[in-house]
Amino acid sequence: MFGFYRFAAASPKIKVADIAFNTAEIIKSVQECSEHEVSAVAFPEMALTGYTCGDLFFQPALRQEAMAGIKEIAAAFASSSMIIIVGAPFFWKNALYNCAFVLQEGKIRGIIPKSNNPNYREFYDKRYFKSGETVPDGTICMTSVPFGTDLIFSGGQDFSFGVELCEDLWGVIPPSSHQVIAGATSIFNLSASNALVAKSQYRRNLVKQQSAHCLAAYIYTSSGVHESSTDLVFDGHSIIAQNGQIVAENERFHRESSIIYADIDLQKLKGIRLSESSMGDAKTEKCFREILLTDVFSSPTIEYAHIDANPFVPSNADERDIHCEEIFNIQAAGLAKRLEHVKAEKLVIGVSGGLDSTLALLVCAETMKLLGRPMSDILAVTMPGFGTTDRTYNNALEMIKFIGAEFQEINISDACLLHFKDINHDPNIHDVTYENVQARERTQLLMDIANHEHGLLVGTGDLSEIALGWSTYNGDHMSMYAVNCAVPKTLIRYLIGWVAENSEKKLQNILEDIIDTPVSPELLPNKRNSKINQKTEDIIGPYQLHDFFLYQLIKYGAEPEKIYYLATIAFDKTYENKLILNTLKLFIKRFFQQQFKRSCMPDGPKVGTISLSPRGDWRMPSDACSEIWLKRLESIKG
């Protein structure tokens, strides 16, 4: 479903050289995978015989029984399109190979020999096995079975995979590096890596890094404790990773058969390769044969994948703190460079007491620290109007005072009333003109003050507002440098919270109250001491949803119906499906309609992988149509 495939990594209980027992255990594990609707399952290196058979590999009886076991496993699932990958020895033309057998619908669809056989200390593979690199490309064995290291298997529209074995991953250039260049979106590694102090962490990092380098799913499984313990112990480590993240991992040293599952979004991985990677320019001298398999079923549901409701915000607190510090430093460094370049005497900023202007003001303060300049070089301007409330006004004043910035207050009400008169607008009609007059009046004041003070006007608008075009053209849409332009609304709360945690108690209290204040432009009439009556999220929907939609659309190129489906999972207990669907439709409409604002947005620093700058990150015609995307949602009832 939507490019998701369910993968399994199995580490079965075995008896060394007992093919009948091992075959039965593997069949039992495959049956369990079938019940879990798995697309493909991998078993360890030499799972049929045991990796630690030693010189028994030279015995024809062992090898013959292993081949019989392979055929028995294949026959047991002749009516299934599930892919089964099993490790076993294979004798071909006077040499023995350590191989992975790819099985589907009762047939051996390909045999991949191990390329890099270790020959050090505890491992003596070269004593028994020849390198797969000696097998000529294009080799066919057993009458019609493709055999060699030049195989790529296609099991569906988004699912193509390669196979490597244990030491192959530890090599300087793993075979999987060539396989992904040839189009593989998934890599299966059949391993028998033994347990040593700290080795599991190194192994884990290898799998993570290779999945990141390859922008692929990486399914790794290894032999367990029932291998021979003559000199070594094996821990049965299984890992499934995608693009640098481990998504499933078992407990090592298990004494019974172990299986882990993961639903992997291969469509997403292909999207990243297309938009964020140079993989399309990568070349390999290795030529591959594409083996066309019967399409396997993709995941009918998503049970073994975590869909993050806040993709811009790391869920781990320590990681989140690191990200917040990094983003804050990027913002301040960018502003410091611009301030030095234009030789401005002041930073001018409009402060409303809302989230965006608060973060921008904090960035201004950090910039002054970087440059060794006084906080009085920041001119913070509050411009109360018809909708300003005491809560935001007082928070703005207290924050400005604590930071030590120069303060200026200009009430815009009279100027706006005069402007209404000039353009013949009835001030009792609270329409878009009524609101935009205020936004443009504030921006005009800030621009002119910046000129008067030989200063630089710092913009406060964030990535979420830019995506939706939720700003007044040539009003809050415009500035001289926009420090928040790549920071989404959901992340801004955490950034301010991070600053609060590292601040004195008084500032911390102010910032925490700002975080708790509803998002509002405060443009509609309101009494100063009353509660906010114009809440942005009541109008356009939750920013949490909009940020989720933005992330899926821009980073992965996800289709609208897929975005909706993922959102229903991520927000299952938070928002009703109808709200999700309506908000998604509004997001798509506004994202297309408001591109003209992004086409002339001011400079600002990119802080994450997503930015909508027209100069590099997002190039889209201002008059592009949204019909294709909206039409995809017509059949969804919500």
Q: What is residue 297's predicted lDDT score, i.e. its pLDDT?
A: 82
| Residues facing residue 242 across a β-bridge | 217, 245
| 351 to 29, 357, 482: CA distances (angstroms) | 62, 5, 14
| 110 to 100, 131, 241, 504, 556: CA distances (angstroms) | 8, 17, 24, 65, 32
Rounded CA-CA distance 31/232 in Å is 30
Candidates 25, 45, 441, 559; catalytic one: 45
Tens of pLDDT along 294-319?
999 888 889 999 999 999 999 899 99
Rounded CA-CA distance 541/553 in Å is 17
Beta carbons within 8 Å of 318's beta carbon, 6+ residues apart: none
Rounded CA-CA distance 518/539 in Å is 12
Candidates 13, 114, 270, 555; catalytic one: 114
* Nearest C-alpha neighbor of 458 from the set 439, 488, 479: 479
pTM above 0.75, yes or no: yes
Q: What is residue 361's predicted lDDT score, i.e. its pLDDT?
A: 98
Rounded CA-CA distance 158/167 in Å is 27
Rounded CA-CA distance 440/450 in Å is 15
* Nearest C-alpha neighbor of 275 from the set 607, 556, 8, 86: 556
Residue 70, both tokens: 């392979």
Q: Which domains does the chain have, with CATH numbers?
A: 4-292 (3.60.110.10), 317-541+599-607 (3.40.50.620)
Side-chain-side CA neighbours of residue 244 (13 Å): 4
Is 45 known to be catalytic?
yes
The whole-angstrom distance between residue 589's C-alpha and the CA centroid of its chain comes to 24
Rounded CA-CA distance 425/564 in Å is 41
* Nearest C-alpha neighbor of 113 from the set 178, 168, 174: 168
Q: What is the DSSP string of 414-460?
A: HHHHHHHHHTT--TT--SHHHHHHHHHHHHHHHHHHHHHTTEEEEE-
> In this structure, is the dihedral angle defined by the CA atoms of residues 333, 336, 342 and 348, taken in order, positive or negative?
positive
**E strand or H helix at 396, and its extent?**
helix 390-403
Beta carbons within 8 Å of 290's beta carbon, 6+ residues apart: 152, 153, 154, 160, 183
* Nearest C-alpha neighbor of 170 from the set 207, 134, 128, 200: 207
Q: What is residue 525's predicted lDDT score, i.e. its pLDDT?
A: 85
- Contacts of the segment 76-79: beta carbons below 8 A, 24+ positions apart: 76/27, 76/30, 77/30, 77/34, 77/103, 77/105, 77/106, 78/105, 78/106, 79/105, 79/106
Q: What is residue 122's predicted lDDT score, i.e. its pLDDT?
A: 62
| Residue 184, φ and ψ in degrees, nearest 5 | -65, 135
**Residues of the chain with confidence (pLDDT) below 70:** 120-123, 527-530
| Residues facing residue 11 across a β-bridge | 258
Residue 58, both tokens: 């030279």
Burial class (CB in 10 A: 0-12, 13-18, 19+), 390: middle
Q: What is the DSSP string of 257-287?
A: -EEEEEEEEHHHHHHHHHHH-SGGG---S--
Q: What is residue 125's predicted lDDT score, i.e. its pLDDT?
A: 83
> In this structure, is the dihedral angle defined by the CA atoms of residues 213, 214, 215 and 218, taken in order, positive or negative?
negative
What radius of gyration, in Å, describes the C-alpha atoms of the chain?
A: 30
| Residue 329, φ and ψ in degrees, nearest 5 | -65, -40
Nearest-5° Cα angle at 628, 625 to 633: 125
Which residues in 550-583 are b (16+ Cβ under 10 Å) and which e?
A: bbbbbbbebbbbbbbbbbbebbeeebeeebbbeb
Is 606 known to be catalytic?
no
Q: Where are the beta strands (DSSP E) in 145-216?
A: 145-146, 151-154, 160-165, 186-191
Q: What is the DSSP string of 280-348?
A: GG---S---EEEEPPPPPPPSS--S----S-TTS-SSHHHHHHHHHHHHHHHHHHHHHHHHHHT-SEEE
Candidates 33, 53, 99, 166; catalytic one: 166
Residue 591, both tokens: 């994202």
* Nearest C-alpha neighbor of 356 from the set 233, 463, 216, 479: 463
> In this structure, is the dihedral angle defined by the CA atoms of residues 285, 287, 293 and 295, taken in order, positive or negative?
positive
Q: What is residue 571's predicted lDDT score, i.e. its pLDDT?
A: 97
SS3 label, residue 240: strand
Is 166 known to be catalytic?
yes
